[in-house]
Amino acid sequence: MYSDKVMDHFQNPRNVGEIEDADGVGTVGNPTCGDLMTIYIKVKDNVIEDVKFKTFGCGAAIATSSMITEMAVGKTIEEALAITRNDVADELEGLPPVKMHCSNLAADALHAAIDNYKEKMGEKKPEDRCKDICSCGK
Q: What is the pLDDT of residues 103-133, one digit of tens each?
A: 678 999 999 999 999 999 997 655 554 444 4
Please tell me the least confidently modeled range out of 15-24, 52-61, 73-82: 52-61
pLDDT exceeds cutoff 90 at 81: yes
Choose between 1 and 17: higher pLDDT: 17
Model confidence band, residue 138 (pLDDT cutoffs 50, 70, 90): very low
CB-CB neighbours of 33 under 10 Å: 16
Q: What is the pLDDT of residues 20-70, one digit of tens each?
A: 999 999 999 977 778 899 999 999 999 999 999 999 988 899 999 999 999
Please check whether residue 85 is in contact with residue 103, taking contact to mean a CB–CB distance below 8 angstroms: yes
Q: What is the DSSP string of 33-70?
A: TTEEEEEEEEEETTEEEEEEEEEES-HHHHHHHHHHHH
Indicate the SS3 state at residue 25: strand
The residues, any chain, with a CB within 8 Å of residue 84's CB and separated by 6 or more, are 107
Please check whether residue 109 is in contact with residue 53, taking contact to mean a CB–CB distance below 8 angstroms: yes
Structural domains of the chain, ranges and CATH numbers in brackets: 4-122 (3.90.1010.10)
Q: What is the mean pLDDT of residues 78-92?
A: 94
Q: What is the pLDDT of residue 99?
A: 76
Q: What's the predicted TM-score (pTM) here?
A: 0.85
Q: What is the pLDDT of residue 127?
A: 57
**Side-by-side strand order, sheet with 47-56:** 24-30, 35-44, 47-56
Active site residues: 33, 102
Indicate the SS3 state at residue 15: coil
pLDDT exceeds cutoff 50 at 102: yes
Query: Among 81, 75, 70, which Cα is nearest to 113's?
Result: 81
Q: What is the amino acid identity at position 109?
A: A
